[in-house]
Amino acid sequence: MPIDSTLCPTPPMGFNTWNRFGMDINERLIQETMDALVASGLAGLGYVHLNIDDGWMAPERSASGALVPDPARFPGGIRRLADRAHGMGLKLGIYSDCGRKTCGGLPASYGHERQDAETFASWDIDYLKQDWCNIPFEDFPGLPEREVAQILYGRISEALADTKRPIILSLCNWGHGEPWEWARGIGHLWRTTGDIVDAYHRPQSGWSGDLLSIFHRNVDLDAHAGPGGWNDPDMLEVGNGGMTDEEYRTHFALWCLMAAPLLLGCDVRALSPATRAIVGNPDLIAVNQDPLGRQAKRAWHAAGVHLLVKPLADGGQAVGLFNEADAPAAADPWPHVPGAGAVRDLWTGATTSRGPVELAPHQTRVWRTAPT
Ligand code: GLA
């Protein structure tokens, strides 16, 4: 049975435990985060998925081979959390891995795909993130990683579909084997990059998870995104402390323009006003969630200034201008954007005329044009 591709008409929005809490998670954190999503108003803005990442399983499967939650961290079990989420208008997500162990070394789904899918469905889970650590490549002699990924993600995808419960499937193999070329129809989103870290740019570290390198990897994959299947440049770091507010505004604006999943990765129980204002910007969320479901196209770039244009369902466009450089920049985006008339700045709300723009280092300006 194929997946239900109507499940993800727009990019998923919510929260995931990994960026802020790593393996150090428990049921109280999940409950308090549910409460905070609702109390902060973020759930009302669309952040409804509460996704538990690595660290929830007990170190061993049960006698019958089923995954079980760690009894010390999740004494009430997962089903009870799902019921609580559903009672609050939220959805509960969970995490596993295609290999023998998760990236954190806990039991994973290889050889247990059907059993795990049935377990998750029996818990009323709404979303599964399926990771790519500890893959037994020796069981697939001579096959390239891309084909192994197609086989193993295909197995969990079919197993989930056969449960008949609508469960969003998030492929997390970091862009290995170009999942954007084949993952539509297997899952609803696919990572395009390695793991994000809470940093703007770290050229000296050799680490590719900074905001800038992730942007460069994801920005030109726009042709592959659309309703039912999304490029995933990884979860949000807004509010975790490693970037300036200007850089966090850039992070959020670029993710909205690139139709990326908006999965908060900060401590939602302790949101600063600045973080709340960034991730709660309703005009940017509307750009991300626009029903046309297009990822912005990079329409022009020069000297580290990038122009992104996202067509919208009402016939207007979202226009972003990003200065990646460490120095201020000036550019006129409008000759590259079809149409005429005033535009609205989505950070300030002000209506402005089309004209040359100055950008601070690492700044992203975003506007919405009216339908032509
Ligand atoms: C991988 C994934 C991360 C996170 C960790 C958990 O690195 O890419 O997003 O899920 O595993 O161990």
Nearest CA to ligand 1 atom 3: 195
**The two three-digit tokens of residue 120, written as one number:** 């998750």
Say which CATH number the domain at 219 has: 3.20.20.70
Q: Are 13 and 289 in contact (CB under 8 A)?
A: yes
Residues 325 and 194 in one domain: no
Beta strands in 28-126 (DSSP E): 49-51, 91-97
Q: What pLDDT was estimated at residue 6? A: 93
Residues 229 and 144 in one domain: yes
Nearest CA to ligand 1 atom 11: 103
Q: Which atom of ligand 1 lies nearest, measured to the CA of 174?
A: 8
Q: Which atom of ligand 1 lies nearest, measured to the CA of 234?
A: 9
d(CA 233, ligand 1 centre) in Å: 13
pLDDT in tens, the chain (372 residues): 778 989 999 999 999 999 999 999 999 999 999 999 999 999 999 999 999 999 999 999 999 999 999 999 999 999 999 999 999 999 999 999 999 999 999 999 999 999 999 999 999 999 999 999 999 999 999 999 999 999 999 999 999 999 999 999 999 999 999 999 999 999 999 999 999 999 999 877 777 899 999 999 999 999 999 999 999 999 999 999 999 999 999 999 999 999 999 999 999 999 999 999 999 999 999 999 999 999 999 999 999 999 999 999 999 999 999 999 999 999 999 999 988 888 999 999 999 999 999 999 999 999 999 997
Q: Which atom of ligand 1 lies nearest, measured to the CA of 194?
A: 8
Catalytic residues: 131, 195
Q: What pLDDT was estimated at residue 338? A: 87
Burial class of residue 336 (count of CB atoms within 10 Å of its CB; 0-12, 13-18, 19+): middle
10: Cα separation from own chain's centroid: 12
Q: Are strands 364-369 and 343-345 parallel, antiparallel or unpaired?
A: antiparallel
d(CA 302, ligand 1 centre) in Å: 34
Q: Which residue reads 């803005």 in tokens?
A: 45
Nearest CA to ligand 1 atom 12: 103
d(CA 173, ligand 1 centre) in Å: 9
Residues 227 and 111 in one domain: yes
Domain boundary among the residues 288, 321, 348 is at 288
Per-residue CA distances from 195 to 198, 209, 234 (Å): 10, 5, 7
187: Cα separation from own chain's centroid: 13
**What is d(CA 341, CA 284) in angstroms, rounded to the nearest whole number?**
20
Nearest CA to ligand 1 atom 8: 195
Residues 52 and 155 in one domain: yes
Say which CATH number the domain at 331 has: 2.60.40.1180
Residues 191 and 233 in one domain: yes
Q: What is the DSSP letter of 99?
A: S
Residues 103 and 225 in one domain: yes
d(CA 279, ligand 1 centre) in Å: 22
Residues 251 and 331 in one domain: no
Residues 322 and 176 in one domain: no
What lines the ligand 1 site, CB under 6 Å? 18, 53-54, 102-104, 131, 172, 195
**The two three-digit tokens of residue 40, written as one number:** 């902060």
Residues 241 and 359 in one domain: no
DSSP-assigned letters across all residues of 164-207: -S--EEEE-STTTT-GGGT-BTTBSEEE-SS---S-S--GGG--
Q: Which atom of ligand 1 lies nearest, measured to the CA of 102?
A: 12
Q: Are 41 and 325 in contact (CB under 8 A)?
A: no
Domain boundary among the residues 257, 288, 319 is at 288
Q: Are 256 and 285 in contact (CB under 8 A)?
A: yes
Beta strands in 278-359 (DSSP E): 297-302, 305-311, 317-323, 329-331, 343-345, 351-352, 357-359
Domain boundary among the residues 236, 258, 288 is at 288
Residue of 15, 16, 21, 131 to mutate, ligand 1, most atoms within 8 A of C-beta: 131
d(CA 179, ligand 1 centre) in Å: 17
**The two three-digit tokens of residue 372, written as one number:** 């032509």
Q: Are 31 and 82 in contact (CB under 8 A)?
A: no
Nearest CA to ligand 1 atom 9: 195
Range of the domain at 326: 297-369
Residues 42 and 142 in one domain: yes
Q: What pLDDT was estimated at residue 218? A: 98
User: How many distinct structural domains can be found in the chain?
Assistant: 2
Residues 220 and 343 in one domain: no
Residues 284 and 305 in one domain: no
